[in-house]
Each structure stands twice: as C-alpha cells, then as structure tokens.
Amino acid sequence: MNFVSTRGGEKVSGAQAVVNGLSENGGLYVPEKFPKISDKEMSEMLEASYAERAAKVLCKFFTDYDAAELSAACESAYAKFGVQDPAPLVKLDDGVYILELWHGPTCAFKDMALTILPYLLRKGCDLCGIKEQILILVATSGDTGKAALEGFKDADGVKIMVFYPSEGVSKMQKLQMGTQEGKNVNVVGVKGNFDDCQTAVKEIFSNSEYAELLKQKNVRLSSANSINFGRLAPQIAYYFSAYLDLVSAGQIEMGEEIDFTVPTGNFGNILAAYYAKQMGLPVRRLHCASNENRILSDFLATGVYDTVREFYKTTSPSMDILVSSNLERLIFEISGRNSKLTSKRMEELKKTGKYEITEEELQKINEVFDGGCADEDECVEAMYDVFVDTGYVMDTHTGCAMKVAVDWFEKHKKDQTEMIIVSTANPYKFPQDVLYAVTGNDVKDSFKGIKRLHAATAMAVPKCLKELRDKTPRFTTVCDKKKLFDEVLAFLNK
C-alpha cells in the first residue's frame, strides 16, 4: 500500500507517511486506493477483541509492517486502557447508542490512536533506515497534547513538544499537560487560539530554513496530530468495532446501514468514519456536530469554507477550531482526487481565508454528510435532558453531538436507522461545565467540581484526574505565536 499527497508530487510507503507526518509540499498523505474489508472478514471480526479488530484495519493500510508484530503492538497498546473493552457501546434508548472512546490513559478519544502511534513511528523509522532523532511537534486544542505526551514519554530517540492555546483549554486539560512526566517532553502555551498553534506548526514543517537548521542538529520532524495518517488510521477501527458490537448484540443484521453523529473540530474523527465507509462499512449518513464555531456545518450547507468570522471560546474547547485540517482530505476525494485543484484551494484558504467547492461536489458530500451545531445553551440543555431522562452523564463535546442528533430525530420522525453518537471525553475532564449542565450549580474550582459532580451522579472519578490535585506543573511557558521555532531550538539545546 502506497500513499500519495493531497497536493500531488509524492508517492511513499506507509512507513514513510507515518514518519514524515506531512508531505514536503504541505499536503496530507492519503492511501493510493482504499483497501476493502470483505463480508467474510467482517464475520470473522465479530468474535474478535478490540485489539484484534484494530490490527485487522491497520494491516490493510500498513502492508510494509509485519502483521504479527503489528497485532502484538495493538494488544500491548490497548492493554494500557485497563478495561476489557477500550471502546464500549452503551445503549441509551431504542435505536440510540453512545460509543465511549474515553477509557484510555488520558480520558479522551485521542488515546485510541496515540497509544499505538509510538509503535508505528518507531517501526516506521526502522523500515525507512532513519537514524536521526525524531522531534514530534503537536498543536492541540486540549486532548491530543496530553495523549501524545503520554504515548511518547521517555521513548528512545524521540522528543515531543506540544503547543496549546494558553487561554483556550479547560483547567483540567491544562493541568494534565503541565504536569506531564518524562525526560523527553515539553509543553508551551501560545498567545492565540488553536488555529494559530496549528498554522505555526505547519509553517515549521514547510520552512526550508528551519529544515536546514534541524538537519544540522541531526533532527527530523514528525507529527502526532491527525494530519499524520498514522494518527488517523487507528480511529477507523472503532467505527468497525462499534458496528460489529451492534451486530453481536442482535440490534442490527450484518449489512444493515447505520448512522454516526460525531462531534468534530479538525474533521479527523468524522473523516475516519468516512474512510471506514470507503472500506466497506455499512454507513448510511454521517452527522457532523459543531459548537458555536459552526464553520463545518456552514460548509456542509453552502459549499463555502470561510474562516473570516468571529471566533468563539466555548465549553467544548476541542471544537474551537476554524481551520479544519482534515477537510483537505475530503476535498481531495470529492474533487476526483484532483491534487492541483486541492492545492489551489488550500492556497486560496491561506491567502484569503476562504474557498468554495462546486455545486456538484457539494451534492456528493451531502449524499453522506450533513451538519448541525449547538450553542452553549443548547449544549447544556441536551446534557441536562439526557441526564434527567436516562441518568447518563456526558461531556460538553458529546452534548453538542447529542443536540445535533436530537435535531435529526425531530426532523425525520419516521427514520428507523440506528444511530451511534460518538463520545469523545470523560465528563470529569470538564467537571465545572458538566456539573452546571446537570445540576445548575456553578463552582470555580475544578476539583470542587469533580467532588460535586461525583456526588450528583455517582460516576466513578478516573484516578489520573483525581491525582492532578497534588501535582505541581512542570511547564508554564507562554510564548507569542511567531516565536514557536525559538522555543523548539531552546528545547533541542537543553
């Protein structure tokens, strides 16, 4: 299996795609063609564990890796979750299910990929004969940073540096990153929003002057963001696993189509579902859920991607994004894999902050995707209603998704298709906001929020979050968005 750039000019192996992270011309790697999982393979996966299902999916893409070794790596990665099923499916109501993706080491869905990515990267370096030190740069809106830091801490031959918007993550997310252990890690706050962090990191990757300076230090860049296909591919697996769990539970017949509602900011999570559909998973529709930063739902309605708009800081910070990097991969597909057109559109986005697709392309997208959004009050109401009706507690991002799903149900009352709502974070990562949603009580301290939320819901508090109270932050640096490379050099010189 080879990979090509969305902007043309390259064809690389799976290992090279993982190690490079981003193509030389700034494009994103995509499979040269999508592999298929046959009906027979689907049936064989029914009785398999989550790790076995994930390995099956990954082996389809990374054909240059040893299959047995990759399977063993999946077993090791998902054993870190400490639960029998890393991605359990919870029935909420007739035809409505919650896919919980937050049972990993950092209580967020990013763990589903970032526990296996270190293996993919280390082995990729071996396969490519790369001897340089790897420096992983990560832009995060909250969850990716901690999951990447935890996945790569103390890894041989690797350093990892995370940039986050200093005032754009929750207090628990900031504490998780700031107290990170490991000799090879660094965390820097950035004056700005996630888009500023992401743009600056991409600039470092594409700057020839920076590349030469890093070469002199025998350092090679890579990424743990979902721009790296090695981060995106493991996310495809949980869509297959959720579907198979529905079949195993007798809720659907094999081959019956289902829907997913996915909260997304950078478009990677829902793109993984689209890729699963390309591989043969019986997906009917994908409902894209946004918060007040409704750029994706607007795009899905109009075909115009316009970042020239007001930016909102919300209680669902992982979706506070205006430049959704992974959308480039979808644009590449619906354009007929036209790399020149994709490159032109991305250049328009860089220069003017917007681009537009054709009516025909929008129709193609709308055959599968639709979008909706939730403002802050609507998110709170959705979380409250579900808690009162069922006792189920969800985080703010899942609350946005629930609101979008409910809107769909109300508009299509006779729709009998099973719906899976993707839940991306443990509620205790946003304790004050979740507490307010389910009880109306407002507290300023995160740990008081955890205590009162536990009292109100009896939901178990993850040990990794409870222990943060007694930890002193190691990383407190905040820098200007134009100074990120200076921080990189300082980190390398330590």
CA angle 393-399-404, nearest 5°? 140
Q: How far is CA 221 from the centre of its chain?
A: 20
C-alpha to C-alpha distance for 344 and 33, rounded to whole angstroms: 22
Give the H or E element holding residue 371.
Answer: strand 369-373
DSSP codes, 436-461: HHHH----S-HHHHHHHHHHHH-PPP
- Determine the pLDDT at residue 414: 86
Task: Say which DSSP state 360 is in.
Answer: H
- Determine the pLDDT at residue 224: 92
- Determine the pLDDT at residue 143: 87
Asked whether the beta carbons of 162 and 197 are under 8 A apart, the reply is no
Asked whether the beta carbons of 152 and 158 are under 8 A apart, the reply is yes
C-alpha to C-alpha distance for 416 and 486, rounded to whole angstroms: 55
Q: How far is CA 65 from the centre of its chain?
A: 23
Among the listed residues 363, 364, 304, 17, the one whose alpha carbon sits nearest the alpha carbon of residue 5: 17
In 95-179, where does DSSP find H-type helix?
Answer: 111-114, 117-128, 143-152, 171-178
CA angle 434-175-493, nearest 5°? 150
In 303-420, where does DSSP find H-type helix?
Answer: 327-334, 339-352, 359-366, 376-390, 396-411
Domains of the chain by residue range: 89-107+230-469
Among the listed residues 316, 296, 137, the one whose alpha carbon sits nearest the alpha carbon of residue 231: 137
Give the H or E element holding residue 89.
Answer: strand 89-93
- Compute the half-sphere exposure of residue 66: CA atoms within 13 Å on the CB side of its CA: 8
C-alpha to C-alpha distance for 408 and 289, rounded to whole angstroms: 11
Instruction: Identify the three-state secondary structure at position 275.
Output: helix
Count other Cβ atoms within 10 Å, centred on residue 132.
14
Residue 200 Cα distances to 330, 457, 486, angstroms: 23, 41, 12
Residues facing residue 220 across a β-bridge: 134
Instruction: Identify the three-state secondary structure at position 392.
Output: coil
C-alpha to C-alpha distance for 158 and 174, rounded to whole angstroms: 23
Largest Cα–Cα distance in the chain?
64
Instruction: Identify the three-state secondary structure at position 92.
Output: strand
C-alpha to C-alpha distance for 153 and 176, rounded to whole angstroms: 13
- Determine the pLDDT at residue 142: 81
34-57: pLDDT as tens digits: 999 999 999 999 999 999 999 999
Among the listed residues 282, 285, 286, 302, the one whose alpha carbon sits nearest the alpha carbon of residue 294: 302
The share of the chain scoring above pLDDT 70, in percent, equals 100
Buried b (16+ CB within 10 A) or exposed e, 1-26: bbbbbbbbebebbbbbbbbbbbbeeb
Dihedral of CA 270/272/274/277: which sign? negative
C-alpha to C-alpha distance for 383 and 394, rounded to whole angstroms: 6
Q: What contacts 256, CB < 8 A, 6 or more positions away?
A: 282, 418
As to burial, measured by CB atoms within 10 angstroms (0-12 exposed, 13-18 middle, 19+ buried), residue 314 is: buried
Asked whether the beta carbons of 435 and 456 are under 8 A apart, the reply is yes
360-374: pLDDT as tens digits: 999 999 999 999 999
**Strand 419-423 relative to strand 258-263, pairing:** parallel
Task: Say which DSSP state 293 is in.
Answer: -
Along the 494 residues of the chain, how does pLDDT read in single tens digits? 999 999 999 999 999 999 999 998 999 999 999 999 999 999 999 999 999 999 999 999 999 999 999 999 999 999 999 899 999 999 999 999 999 999 999 999 999 999 999 999 999 999 999 999 999 999 998 889 999 999 999 999 999 999 999 999 999 999 999 999 999 999 999 999 999 999 999 999 989 999 999 999 999 999 998 999 999 999 999 999 999 999 999 999 999 999 999 999 999 999 999 999 999 999 999 999 999 999 999 999 999 999 999 999 999 999 999 999 999 999 999 999 999 999 999 999 999 999 999 999 999 999 999 999 999 999 999 999 999 999 999 999 999 999 999 999 999 998 999 999 999 999 999 999 999 999 999 999 999 999 999 999 999 999 999 999 999 999 999 999 999 999 999 999 98
Q: What is the mean pLDDT of the chain?
A: 96
- Determine the pLDDT at residue 139: 94
Buried b (16+ CB within 10 A) or exposed e, 93-107: eebbbbbbbbbbbbb
C-alpha to C-alpha distance for 465 and 426, rounded to whole angstroms: 10
C-alpha to C-alpha distance for 178 and 157, rounded to whole angstroms: 22
The CATH class that applies to domain 89-107+230-469 reads alpha beta
CA angle 31-34-39, nearest 5°? 150
- What is the crossing angle of helices 359-366 and 295-302, to 10°? 110
C-alpha to C-alpha distance for 210 and 315, rounded to whole angstroms: 36
Q: Model's pTM, two decimal places?
A: 0.95
